[in-house]
Structure 1
Amino acid sequence: MHPEQGSPFDVIIIGAGFAGLYGVHQAAKAGLSVLGLEAGADVGGTWFWNRYPGARCDVESVDYSYSFDEELQQSWTWTERFAAQPEILAYINHVAERFDLKRHYRFGQRVVAAHFDDDAAHWTLRTDTGAEFRSQFVVFATGCLSAPVKPNLPGIESFAGEEYFTAQWPAQGVSFEGKRVGVIGTGSSGIQVSPIIARAARSLTVFQRSANFSVPVPNRPWTEAEQAQIRATYRERREKSYYAGAATPHASLTTKALELSPQERVSAMEDRWNGGGVLFNKVFPDQNSDLAANELVREFAVAKIRAKIDDQSVADDLIPNDHPIGTKRICTDSGYYEMYNRDNVSLVNLRREPIEEVTATGIRTADRFIELDTLVYATGFDAMTGALLRIDLHGARDARLSDTWADGPITYLGFGIPGFPNMFSINSVGTPSVMANMVLHSEQQLDWVLALVQHCRANGIRKAEARADAAVKWTDHLLEVAEGTLFVRANSWYMGANIEGKKRIFMPYIGGFGNYRRYCDEERDNGYPNFELSR
């Protein structure tokens, strides 16, 4: 149902990624008038924008998919163990078409302002086209890694060559054949795209500010026998994931690292290394809380990395020495470290050799000038809070989100922000977010939010606002749980450390998806006691 532009919708959902599409589907199914707004030209969310070569998910494809429809689950066939961007985007489009979701969306509409009217108890949203839309409830499914950051380098605007962001890659693709290419950034996207560029470019120079640990992704096609087994046991696999720590069927060992023999430890680490990617961050139950256990895992990874690189002075630069392993998200790669054995690839350690300026024809560091035809910015995001804070958000009593979060973000269960009634944020600060399987996480959160919306409408409730004391208590709990881990020792984007001037605070809930879900269940089952529900 679509009311006229002048009449409020029941709910507006911003974003057309996994979360937004699911929310629109469930809202429409519940009989709510729903509108989806999306900045991009089509569905896909992060997989619409991040089209760079090598983009791949680090969660197994069969888990990184919707669980809400058994027929969808049984009919879609994933070709690879870890799906690449084109296949994920094809899946999202398939879902959108299967459930006729695009008809609910207005594409090419980036929300730039959202203001709450206290008297009318509804939101007015304005987009970059000047269009305005109103709704009683608004859901921001805007993504936690969706606000790209361009580095603030002297002279950066003067570069006359080609420039590309991994986070906003041209749909038509890019040719690097015979070109001198510079990649700035060695997070997930930089590590994934660089080996592919290296195979085509005349030369590749990687500019690294912070080294990251990366584990090879042992990707391969699913066999027919595996696909049959997955289909036969999908329900069991999902049941195992619904209250699991990371919303996948994979868990760490139950025995602590130092309680195992050296041989048992090595065998466990070898198994998880071969399993691939972020699974290596879940070898032992204490590796992210006990430094001695973490060091065992770190030494194993360092030996693996050194074995891949011919020049050990290059290996010295590529191996992190400033954080426990896993406290920055472990990357996944296909030949990243081996790439540095190529004659056309070089590494610039910016901590030793900082960039002094970008010119029309290249980059001048403290030691040399590097001529470049193309610059690729793999410089990451203003994570978790950036997408919301880039919107002019005014809540009740003229509360401004930029003021409310001036000393760090505060939420109740991640959904609710005091001072912002009828507004909910998905996969945001205070939720497991990037620490869990985002697709299952999105389903859980949207189900919860829409249950509250329906509760309000059924009971004549005009406003639902998270209580300030509950938000303080939840945020204190979030930080207390984080302080019990090694994650707070790293200058990571989990902490906002990649953004100059951003408050250092651990933003995801790291107590596990299952525990988080139980808190949400309790709040719902008790009638939302930590929300002010006003008639």
Structure 2
Amino acid sequence: MGRARPVTKSPVVLDALIIGAGVAGLYQLHQLRQQGLSVLAVDAASDVGGTWHWNRYPGAKFDSESYIYQYLFDEKLYKDWTWSERFPAQPEIERWMHYIADRLDLRRDCLFSTTVTEARWDEARNRWTVKTDQGDVFDTQFLIGCCGMLSAPLENRFPGQQTFRGRIFHTARWPQEPIALAGKRVGVVGNGATGIQVIQTIADQVGELKVFIRTPQYTLPMKNPKYGPNEAAAYKARFDELKQNLPRTFTGFEYDFKHSWNDLTPEQRLEVLEEIHADGSLKLWLAGFAEMFFDPEVSEQISEFVRGKMRARLKDRRLIDILVPGPDDYGFGTHRVPLETNYLEVYHRPNVHAVSVKNNPIAEIVPEGIRLEDGTVHELDVIILATGFDAGSGALSRIDIHGRDGHVLREDWSRDIRTTMGMLVHGYPNFLITAAPLAPSAALCNMTTCLQQQTEWISGLIGWMGAHGKTVVEPTAEAEEDWVRHHDETANANLISRTNSWYVGSNIPGKPRRVLSYTGGVGTYRAKCDEAAAQGYRGLATR
């Protein structure tokens, strides 16, 4: 149970209001309570968990190793939870989130089933007025957005969805009750990381499965061993090592880039690629050869290595053409790389059909199913939309946030998505954010690593302000411009910036194009944030 709803509609006065009760929001709540502040976390969900509350679709699971996707601020909290396998599924992850909330007694300061709809900065009082869909009004000094980077699902993607006679589900809004798929004609739209997890999980359950594929994906096979007492003891013994190293690697994972392409012979390169491909993790992407992000030739050679592994598992030339990226598509690692378990083999089943919509796109949803541009209608009982998100900026843009001097976040970001270190925005005093654009946590990080760092930095800033008698903080225009320039110089030097994907917002018509995630590395980002803090929060105007 969370906090009871206020019985009066007069504003509830707080030191800090947190939007979201997921990985970031829960830890932020814990830290600010430790400072003795009056703080509340508000979440649209019925319980804690964030991503792991909403994403309960068939097959949802980690692709970060379980023992690194954890909080590292408390050794006993870490060691008192034991994972069952390397990459656990959503139910186990949700139980872990509940364990965290129970151990830290967080629910008493959470308000669930409540959506923040509006936040306005009161320039006369230097405070935020925040409203919800339930009629609550909060008067708070700090507004902290812990909304997540993939939490604004693209649900209404096609004309005619409301006419469909069957049921339509977006993967990020999957119902809590069981959904009967046995024997049904099911269509899955989307074959990114989420779509792949769904497809490989339900293929042997449904009567017929049609997968509508626009963009082929590079995939890596997952190895997911079970953990017994010995394996659990082994990873728990590494707590100090992980606490020290994870925040300083390039992506917040335990592994890091250690090979230089030009220092190795072709035979040695192949040996390294084979070794890390066989690891059954994201290591080939996140700790292979950094040159593949900058050098088109290296990118192509590594991409062809992965394509070759995929082609060897497919028996059908048509399937290869639909499922395996070609040299002219994009390079390995410039899109989100999914892990999979026998995903490619699923398409050899007689009840599974890959439908290419690359040159014959989906035109509309009709009562019978999905109609393509050429008029073909695929009759279906269930449609599953694995159609992604308005990443990074979407969750905050869906809230009506008004800063000072007429600034409206939705309008500002519709012109140019800018932040200062991914944690503050010029024009919005006392507004602090995590998993937002221009920080590694917008896409390129083991999320718990980055969200711990960001919430700790925010807590440090709030504590510093209290100790120095400051009540208002806002980044200067110059500091924000410096950060945006540094971010862009770093991002534009790599191949991610040249590839169309949600990483640059190109999945949203009209969204300003910018690499959403800071690509300079998690360790470098942390060092820059720490340096600013050590210099009295350089670049931030306080009063």
TM-score band, normalised by shorter chain: over 0.9
Alpha-carbon distance in 1 for matches of 2:228, 2:493: 41
The yes-or-no answer on 1:286 pairing with 2:291 is yes
CA offsets 1:480-506 (integer angstroms, 9 cap, x no match): 101111111210101001111111111
Q: Superposition pairs for residues 46-65 of structure 1, below 5 Å? A: 46-65=51-70
The yes-or-no answer on 1:371 pairing with 2:379 is yes
The yes-or-no answer on 1:266 pairing with 2:274 is no
Residue matched to 1:297? 302
The yes-or-no answer on 1:402 pairing with 2:410 is yes
What SS is found at the alignment partner of 1:9? strand
What SS is found at the alignment partner of 2:139? strand
Residue matched to 2:447? 438
Alpha-carbon distance in 1 for matches of 2:344, 2:253: 28
The yes-or-no answer on 1:392 pairing with 2:396 is no
Residue matched to 1:498? 507
Alpha-carbon distance in 2 for matches of 1:362, 1:404: 38
Verify the 8 A CA contact 1:12 1:137 in the aligned structure 2. Answer: yes
CA offsets 1:326-377 (integer angstroms, 9 cap, x no match): 1001011112111110111111111122223321111122152211001000
What SS is found at the alignment partner of 1:248? coil
Distance 1:133 1:67, change over 3 A: same
TM-score, scaled relative to structure 2: 0.96
Which residue of 305, 313, 321 maps to 1:308? 313
Which residue of 339, 347, 366 maps to 1:340? 347
Alpha-carbon distance in 1 for matches of 2:341, 2:39: 41
Which residue of 130, 138, 161 maps to 1:125? 130
Letter in 2 for 1:147: A
- Displacement of 1:307: 1.3
- Displacement of 1:389: 0.6
CA offsets 1:401-459 (integer angstroms, 9 cap, x no match): 12322322111111110000000110111110121111121111111111111222222
Q: In angstroms, what is the RMSD of aligned CA positions?
A: 1.6
Q: Superposition pairs for residues 49-128 of structure 1, below 5 Å? A: 49-128=54-133
Alpha-carbon distance in 2 for matches of 1:48, 1:525: 37
What SS is found at the alignment partner of 1:314? helix
Residue matched to 2:419? 411
Mean Cα deviation higher: 224-233 or 86-95? 224-233
Alpha-carbon distance in 1 for matches of 2:228, 2:208: 38
% of aligned pairs identical? 38
Aligned length: 533
Mean Cα deviation higher: 110-119 or 433-442? 433-442
Verify the 8 A CA contact 1:147 1:382 in the aligned structure 2. Answer: yes
What SS is found at the alignment partner of 1:300? helix
Verify the 8 A CA contact 1:151 1:379 in the aligned structure 2. Answer: no
Alpha-carbon distance in 2 for matches of 1:301, 1:159: 38
Verify the 8 A CA contact 2:414 2:511 in the aligned structure 1. Answer: no
Letter in 1 for 2:102: E
Gaps in structure 1 of 5+ consecutive residues: none
Residue matched to 2:482? 473
Residue matched to 1:517? 526
Verify the 8 A CA contact 2:434 2:455 in the aligned structure 1. Answer: yes
What SS is found at the alignment partner of 2:26? helix
What SS is found at the alignment partner of 2:119? strand
- Displacement of 1:178: 0.4
Verify the 8 A CA contact 2:222 2:281 in the aligned structure 1. Answer: yes
Which residue of 279, 285, 288 maps to 1:275? 279
- Displacement of 1:170: 0.9
Residue matched to 1:464? 473
CA offsets 1:297-329 (integer angstroms, 9 cap, x no match): 111111111111121211111112311111001
What SS is found at the alignment partner of 2:188? strand
- Displacement of 1:86: 1.0
What SS is found at the alignment partner of 2:197? helix
Mean Cα deviation higher: 219-228 or 280-289? 219-228
Letter in 2 for 1:519: K
Residue matched to 1:528? 537
Mean Cα deviation higher: 445-454 or 41-50? 445-454
Verify the 8 A CA contact 1:214 1:277 in the aligned structure 2. Answer: no
What SS is found at the alignment partner of 1:398? coil
Verify the 8 A CA contact 1:294 1:324 in the aligned structure 2. Answer: yes
Alpha-carbon distance in 2 for matches of 1:364, 1:440: 43
What SS is found at the alignment partner of 1:523? helix
Alpha-carbon distance in 1 for matches of 2:387, 2:142: 34
